[in-house]
Amino acid sequence: MNPHLVGTQEIKVTRDRYKLCPSCSNYSHYAESHNYCIMCGAKMICECPDCLEPILYPTAKHCPSCGTGYGVKFAEAVKMELKMKTG
Ligand SMILES: [Zn+2]
Ligand SMILES: [Zn+2]
């Protein structure tokens, strides 16, 4: 416990957001218009698939808020979801 942090931890400067590739862990800045990974062609994600927390760390592998992985399992889940939606 650091008493100096109490009450100040909610103060956040404007932070960058990133898009991550769930397949190969490539990333790009949120402002880039990359919907798909330039390395492997997977769909980029820009927020936590579970709690929709923005991705603030380009090297993150898991959501810092809920712990959900950003990895391949999610990519596969999205593919399945898309298949279901498109019939
Ligand atoms: Zn990729
Ligand atoms: Zn989350």
77 pLDDT band, cuts 50/70/90, is low
Predicted TM-score (pTM) of the model is 0.65
Pairing mode, if any, of strands 18-20 and 27-29?
Answer: antiparallel
**CA of 72 relative to ligand 1 center, distance in Å:** 10
Q: Which residues contact 66 (CB under 8 A, 6 or more apart)?
A: 48, 50, 51, 53
* CA–CA separation, 77 and 10 (whole Å): 33
Give the per-residue pLDDT at 71: 84
Q: Residue for token digits 């400067």?
A: 13
Q: What is the mean pLDDT of the chain?
A: 82
pLDDT greater than 80 at residue 35 = yes
Q: Which ligand is nearest to the CA of 40?
A: 1
**CA of 11 relative to ligand 1 center, distance in Å:** 33
